[in-house]
């Protein structure tokens, strides 16, 4: 099961042009994201999000006694900094980097599992192969938290089963970073379509849940 999560402005932006994204949605929405993380085997992001936000990708909920999901970064060239929170926490929490070349010994020494995946031809790992490799490692339920390029890749490959969309009553404008990067859709018939299953208010924000048709 692959879930894509987006936390956006009303106009579908996930960050300003400069990359600022904290915080677009409010506390209630962020708590719900932590509950969703806890229901998946791994949280997955792209390297640009790791570089911009230096996230921990952990479940931080009052009273949470359950386990923590693994953290996965799609990072073809292994640019994840050794002093990032993800690498510094790799000794305690399972942390994987998906690359297109052999493992960087500095990352493995820090406790990061480097998964070498075949190159799609654009210097990036082939996503269906990545999903299969993660499943083989016991990580079947993936929670994809962006950014826009990674979201687009999962959608382009038809790999998104569920979409959790948190929408804040804020407008960032066209210079902002799009929630979903280029999809190469040239006709509406080619656009991925989803079915809305639920809508809920979370404080000032809206939470919409969609599923693949």
Ligand X SMILES: NC(=O)c1ccc[n+]([C@@H]2O[C@H](COP(=O)([O-])OP(=O)(O)OC[C@H]3O[C@@H](n4cnc5c(N)ncnc54)[C@H](OP(=O)(O)O)[C@@H]3O)[C@@H](O)[C@H]2O)c1
Tokens of 36: 């969703």
Rounded to a whole number of angstroms, the minimum distance from the CB of residue 150 to ligand X is 4
Q: Could you say which of 60, 77, 135, 196 contacts ligand X (CB under 6 A)?
A: 77
CB nearer ligand X, residue 94 or residue 177: 177
What are the angstrom distances between the C-alpha of 114 and each of 87, 123, 147, 175? 12, 16, 20, 34
Do 117 and 100 contact (CB within 8 A), yes or no?
yes
Rounded to a whole number of angstroms, the minimum distance from the CB of residue 65 to ligand X is 26
Q: Single out the segment in contact with ligand X by CB under 6 A; choices: 14-22, 64-72, 104-112, 136-144.
A: 14-22
Do 14 and 178 contact (CB within 8 A), yes or no?
yes
Provide the total of helices (H) and of strands (E) in the chain, helices listed first: 6, 11
Name residue 111's beta-bridge partners: none
CB nearer ligand X, residue 49 or residue 68: 49
Residue 49 interacts with ligand X (CB under 6 A): yes or no: yes
CB nearer ligand X, residue 35 or residue 91: 35
Q: What's the rounded Cα separation, in Å, for the pair 92 and 38?
A: 16
Q: What's the rounded Cα separation, in Å, for the pair 193 and 118?
A: 29
- Residues in contact with ligand X, shown as a per-residue x/- string from 78 to 117 under the rule CB under 6 A: -x--------------------------------------
Residue 14 interacts with ligand X (CB under 6 A): yes or no: yes
Cα Dmax for the chain: 48
| Chain residues 115-144 in contact with ligand X, contact rule CB under 6 A | 123-125, 127
Q: Single out the segment in contact with ligand X by CB under 6 A; choices: 11-19, 59-67, 106-114, 131-139.
A: 11-19
Q: What's the rounded Cα separation, in Å, for the pair 153 and 136?
A: 21
Q: How many residues of this chain bind ligand X (CB under 6 A)?
A: 32
Tracing tokens 């677009």 back to the chain, one arrives at 24
Residues that bind ligand X (CB under 6 A): 6-7, 14-15, 19, 21, 24, 45-49, 52-53, 74-77, 79, 123-125, 127, 145-150, 153, 177, 181
């Amino acid at each position: 099961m692959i879930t894509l999560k987006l936390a956006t402005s009303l106009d579908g932006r996930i960050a300003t042009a400069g990359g600022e994204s904290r915080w677009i949605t409010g506390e209630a929405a962020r708590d719900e994201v932590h509950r969703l993380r806890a229901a998946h085997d791994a949280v997955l992001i792209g390297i640009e999000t790791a570089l911009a936000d230096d996230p921990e990708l952990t479940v931080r909920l009052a009273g949470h006694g359950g386990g923590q999901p693994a953290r996965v970064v799609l990072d073809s060239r292994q640019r994840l900094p050794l002093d990032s929170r993800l690498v510094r926490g790799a000794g305690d929490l399972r942390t994987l980097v998906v690359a297109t070349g052999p493992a960087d010994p500095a990352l493995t020494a820090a406790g990061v599992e480097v998964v070498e995946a075949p190159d799609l031809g654009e210097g990036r790992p082939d996503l269906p192969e990545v999903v299969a490799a993660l499943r083989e490692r016991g990580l079947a339920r993936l929670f994809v938290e962006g950014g826009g390029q990674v979201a687009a890749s999962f959608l382009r490959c038809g790999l998104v089963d569920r979409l959790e969309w948190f929408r804040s009553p804020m407008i960032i404008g066209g210079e902002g970073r799009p929630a979903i990067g280029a999809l190469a859709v040239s006709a509406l018939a080619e656009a991925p379509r989803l079915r809305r299953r639920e809508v809920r208010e979370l404080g000032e924000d809206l939470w919409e849940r969609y599923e693949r048709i």
